[in-house]
Amino acid sequence: MTTNQKAIECLENNDYDAALTLFQKALNDSRDVQSLTNLAWIYYHEEDEVEKAIHLAQEAVALKPISHFPYSLLGELLVQTERWEEAALVLSDSIAVEPSKEAYNNLAIAKYHLGELERASALFLKSAGPSDYALYSHVHCLIQLGHTFEAKHKLDAFLESDEDFVGEVHVAELYLELACFTESLHWFKKSWNTYDKSPDWVSRYIYALVQTNAMERADEIAQECIRLKQDDIEEALAEECDEDWTESDQAAYVIRLQNEKQEYEHILEQIASGFVPPFKFKTSLSSKCYLFGCSRHEHPEYKG
């Protein structure tokens, strides 16, 4: 059994310290594509040592590997650290070696943040499933590009039954961006009893209700959220402080809850004055196992 295989076995048995030691030993024995990539992956996923992982992955990529693993891993790390231009170059190399949904998605993220919306939109579509976050991101790009007919056509096809369904609030948000208030309210209503109520999306739900003149329901929702926040404030103040929950932690949390309560208290007045609660889109990094020799995912060891 090779050192790498022993390390993988320890990892499978949740013996992370032993696995790390063995992955480090493998690198000391031979500084090659496999040992560099696998230790980089462990530093990233198990040790949260992102910069160390980047340096090792860069060294692996410099060896011009014939596997996409080092490129995909480095691209993911560079997206994680918002190095968009570097990430775009490495992920393009990854796709040239072997296309993957993860690389397409992460390259789309880099292109999106570089302002290349047409390219980002196409790449998100390449990585997308029928109703998942990548397709949601694709539709968001279409809306930004002004392709509203195509965006609505694709949004209408989202299904809750899909295994990777993005979620009701996300669908509602995009309909709201299209000014399709009836459709937006349909999805917001579905999410009301299942989602954590945060001002980011609840304020937009209230906005959609106002646009359809459902003022009574809009006020009901605002008042319910005010009561919920007041309950949260009282509960937080009643908690006993200790070394894990300090008075400073408590004070900061209570201030955040009070600010959110105030948002709900003034939201209807603000909307009446012309305020449109903003849509806060976030890209979502795609990851997978890039360990050479991983038995769980049936990855062979690297042979260059």
The residue assigned the tokens 């103040």 is 237
pLDDT in tens, 249-274: 999 999 999 999 999 999 999 999 99
d(Cα 39, Cα 110) in Å, to the nearest integer? 25
Question: What integer pLDDT is reported at residue 211 of this predicted model?
Answer: 98
d(Cα 269, Cα 213) in Å, to the nearest integer? 14
For residues 203-230, give the mean pLDDT.
Answer: 98
For all residues of the chain together, what is the average pLDDT?
97
pLDDT in tens, 23-72: 999 999 999 999 999 999 999 999 999 999 999 999 999 999 999 999 99
- For the chain, how far is it from start to end, CA to CA, in angstroms? 19
Query: Closest Cα to residue 70, out of 32, 108, 109, 107?
Result: 32
pTM > 0.75: yes or no: yes
CATH architecture under which domain 1-100+288-304 falls: Alpha Horseshoe (1.25)
Containing 245, the helix (H) or strand (E) segment is: none
Q: Counting Cβ atoms within 10 Å, is residue 159 exposed (0-12), middle (13-18) or buried (19+)?
A: exposed
For residues 230-256, give the mean pLDDT.
Answer: 95
Q: Would you tell me the crossing angle of helices 199-211 and 181-191 to the nearest 10 degrees?
A: 140
Question: What integer pLDDT is reported at residue 181 of this predicted model?
Answer: 98
Q: Report which residue type is found at 149.
A: F
Query: Closest Cα to residue 101, out of 70, 134, 73?
Result: 134
> Where do the structural domains in the chain lie, given as residue ranges?
1-100+288-304, 182-282
pLDDT in tens, 100-149: 999 999 999 999 999 999 999 999 999 999 999 999 999 999 999 999 99
**Residue 262: alpha-carbon gap to chain centroid:** 28
Please check the confidence at residue 1 and state whether its pLDDT lies above 90. Answer: no
Distances (CA, A) of 201 to 71, 141, 144, 281, 282: 36, 19, 19, 11, 13
d(Cα 177, Cα 137) in Å, to the nearest integer? 13
Question: What integer pLDDT is reported at residue 173 of this predicted model?
Answer: 98
Query: 3-class DSSP state for residue 40?
Result: helix
Please check the confidence at residue 304 and state whether its pLDDT lies above 80. Answer: no
Q: Residue 33 in contact with residue 67, Cβ under 8 Å? A: yes
- The 8 Å CB, 24+ separation contacts for 249-257 are 257/229, 257/232, 257/233
DSSP letter string over 213-239?
T-HHHHHHHHHHHHHHHHHHHHHHHHS
Please check the confidence at residue 232 and state whether its pLDDT lies above 90. Answer: yes
d(Cα 209, Cα 232) in Å, to the nearest integer? 25
Q: CA angle 68-70-75, nearest 5°?
A: 90
> Can you give 90-143 as a three-state secondary structure string?
HHHHHHHHCCCHHHHHHHHHHHHHCCCHHHHHHHHHHHCCCCCHHHHHHHHHHH
Query: 3-class DSSP state for residue 217?
Result: helix
d(Cα 165, Cα 266) in Å, to the nearest integer? 33
Of all residues in the chain, the percent with pLDDT exceeding 90 is: 99
